[in-house]
Structure 1
Amino acid sequence: MFYHAKELQFNARVSKPDPKFASLLLEQFGGMNGELKAAMQYFTQAFAARQPYPEIYDMLMDIATEEFSHLEIVGATIQMLMNGVNGELKDISEQSEIMQMVVGKSEKENIIHEAMVNPMFMVVSGGGPTVTNSQGVPWSGYYVDANGDLTVDLRSDIAAETRAKITYEYLMQFTGDPEVKETLKFLMTREVAHHQMFEAALSTLKPNFPPGVTQGDPRYSNLYFNLSKGQEARGPWNEGSSPILGEPWQYIDDPQAHVTSTDGLREQKPNDAIMSVEEADKKSMEVSQQRSEEVKRAVPKGSNQWNRYDS
């Protein structure tokens, strides 16, 4: 059950109305990297984790609920940035502030352009937040990544927090309002905190690489193909050893010749891989059995229930 406290998690403030920035801030209300996407992603992922991984379920639900509170902060900030616009739209007199704003051809064309870019926000909603991005594109459940495997989902969540963080970082460049910047800085910093929480949760799942249960084929796991010609670049991604598996990178300088000589890589042999093909297949079966048992043990046979309401 959800319980709503009317006080915001962070005391959002604005120095003055700013409809243009309010439109930009919609990106974090109904955009693909915004707070609604994050809340729904973690909320959805939590269901599959509920019984086999109750601790991670608890974390996902806590963070999902916090993301809903951040959505409220963004919505409140948008509304304050649009303060007065809704009332002005209801004032049909020529003396209303919004009518004075559009005096002259250039001003009118500017307002028309704003309305064309995001008609839901500027014309249809009357200045209230809409469940769209800054261009008026409606929010979609397609934004949500939930694969039912925490080694995959938690990495998606780390990426989501990273994208949200950089979006707030960019948004701060488009407002001069110190009060709004304080709110955005708070929201940005919570993305940093959540990133670390997801990293920590992922570290409790052993093994967690590669994501899922099936191991990579040792014949191909440490090959680097030099597929762009010109000034060559070398670094830890193609020389030395791979950072997680610890396999020496095999630098294929002439990919076409290599593919031809190995019959389209079908005759490729493992080279300095940590496992043979047979060992990788065995490892896949072991991890598969481990994950399967973790889920099966947590789900009772016969009748099942989500909670126990102890008095």
Structure 2
Amino acid sequence: MFYHAKELQFNARVSKPDPKFASLLLEQFGGVNGELKAAMQYFTQAFAARQPYPDKYDMLMDIATEEFSHLEIVGATIQMLMNGVNGELKDISEQSEIMQMVTGKAGKEGLIHDAMTNPLFLGVSGGSPSVTNSQGVPWSGYYVDANGELTVDLRSDIAAESRAKITYEYLMQFTDDPDVKETLKFLMTREVAHHQMFEAALATLEPNFPPGVVQGDPRYTNLYFNMSQGEDARGPWNEGVSPLLGEPWQYIDDPRQVVRETNGLRDQQPQDTAMSKDEAEKKSKEISSMRSKEVKNAVPKGSNQWSKYD
């Protein structure tokens, strides 16, 4: 069950109205990297983790709930930045505050342009937060990544926190309001904290690479194909050993020739790989059995109950 505390998690404030930045901030309300996306992603992922990994379920639900509180902070900030525009839109007089904010023909045309750029924000919602991004595109469930496999989901979450952080970094460049900057900095920093939480949770799932249960085919795990012409770049991604499997990279300088010589890579043989093909198949079966038992053993036979009410 959820409880709503009326106090915001962070003391959000604004120094002055700024309708233009309010419209921009919608990106973190209903955008692809926003707080609603994060809340729904972690909330959805938690269901598959509930019985086999109750500790991860607890973490996902805690962070999802905090993301809902961040959504409230963003929405409150947007509302304060609009400075009562919703009420002003109901005032049809030429002396209304919103008309005074946009004095002159250029100002009025600018306001109309903003309304046309995101018609839902001013023309429909009256300046209150709408579940859209900054361009008025409605929020979509397609933003949510949930695969029912924690080693995949947690990596998606790390990426989500990274994208949200950089979005806040960019947004801070578009406001000179010190109070708003403080709010954005808090939200950005919580993305850093969540990133670390997901990293730590992923590390407790061993083995966790490659994601899922099936191992890669050793014929191809350490091949690097030089697929572009011109000056070649070398680095730890194509020379030395691979960072997670510890296999020496095999640099394929002429992919076309190798593909032809190996019957479209079907006849390619493993070279300096951590496992043979048989060993990889054996490990896949072992991990598959282990993960399957973790889930099956956590689910009682017959009647099942989600919660206990002691």
The 5 Å alignment of 1:37-56 reads 37-56=37-56
Residue 133 (structure 2) pairs with residue 136 (structure 1): no
**Match of residue 27 from structure 2:** 27
Residue 254 (structure 2) pairs with residue 246 (structure 1): no
Cα distance in structure 1, aligned partners of 2:16 and 2:96:
18
Residues 11-68 of structure 1: CA deviation (Å, up to 9, x unaligned): 0000000000000000000001000000000000000000000000000000000000
The Cα of 1:86 is off from its aligned counterpart by 1.4
Q: What root-mean-square deviation, in Å, do the aligned CA atoms of Structure 1 and Structure 2 show?
A: 0.8
Cα distance in structure 2, aligned partners of 1:5 and 1:108:
40
Classify the secondary structure of the residue corresponding to 2:164: helix
Cα distance in structure 1, aligned partners of 2:84 and 2:148:
45
**Match of residue 203 from structure 2:** 203
Residues 237-278 of structure 1: CA deviation (Å, up to 9, x unaligned): 000000000000000001111111111101100010110001
Classify the secondary structure of the residue corresponding to 2:251: strand
What residue identity is the alignment partner of 1:152?
Answer: V
What residue identity is the alignment partner of 1:275?
Answer: M
Cα distance in structure 1, aligned partners of 2:96 and 2:30:
30
Structure 2 residues not aligned, in runs of 5+: none
Residue 38 (structure 2) pairs with residue 71 (structure 1): no
Q: What percent identity do the matched residue pairs reach?
A: 84
Residues 224-243 of structure 1: CA deviation (Å, up to 9, x unaligned): 00001111100000000000
Cα distance in structure 2, aligned partners of 1:17 and 1:108:
17
What residue identity is the alignment partner of 2:104?
Answer: G
Cα distance in structure 2, aligned partners of 1:133 and 1:15:
24
The 5 Å alignment of 1:120-131 reads 120-131=120-131
The 5 Å alignment of 1:286-305 reads 286-305=286-305
What residue identity is the alignment partner of 1:182?
Answer: E
The Cα of 1:123 is off from its aligned counterpart by 1.2
Cα distance in structure 1, aligned partners of 2:69 and 2:98:
32
**Match of residue 229 from structure 2:** 229
The 5 Å alignment of 1:265-284 reads 265-284=265-284
Cα distance in structure 1, aligned partners of 2:157 and 2:192:
12
Cα distance in structure 1, aligned partners of 2:194 and 2:74:
18
Classify the secondary structure of the residue corresponding to 1:174: coil
What residue identity is the alignment partner of 1:164?
Answer: A
**Match of residue 92 from structure 1:** 92
Classify the secondary structure of the residue corresponding to 1:251: strand
Moved more, 16-25 or 80-89: 80-89
The Cα of 1:103 is off from its aligned counterpart by 4.1
**Match of residue 219 from structure 1:** 219
What residue identity is the alignment partner of 2:94?
Answer: E
Cα distance in structure 1, aligned partners of 2:244 and 2:194:
23
What residue identity is the alignment partner of 2:35?
Answer: E
The Cα of 1:180 is off from its aligned counterpart by 0.2
The Cα of 1:215 is off from its aligned counterpart by 0.2
**Match of residue 61 from structure 1:** 61
TM-score of the two chains, using structure 1 as the length reference: 0.98
Classify the secondary structure of the residue corresponding to 2:173: helix
What residue identity is the alignment partner of 1:266?
Answer: R
The Cα of 1:292 is off from its aligned counterpart by 0.1
**Match of residue 262 from structure 1:** 262
Cα distance in structure 2, aligned partners of 1:275 and 1:160:
33
Residues 129-162 of structure 1: CA deviation (Å, up to 9, x unaligned): 0000000000001100000000000000000000
**Over 6 Å off, 4+ runs:** none
**Match of residue 155 from structure 1:** 155
What residue identity is the alignment partner of 1:224?
Answer: Y
Cα distance in structure 2, aligned partners of 1:18 and 1:142:
31
Cα distance in structure 2, aligned partners of 1:282 and 1:72:
49
Classify the secondary structure of the residue corresponding to 1:73: helix
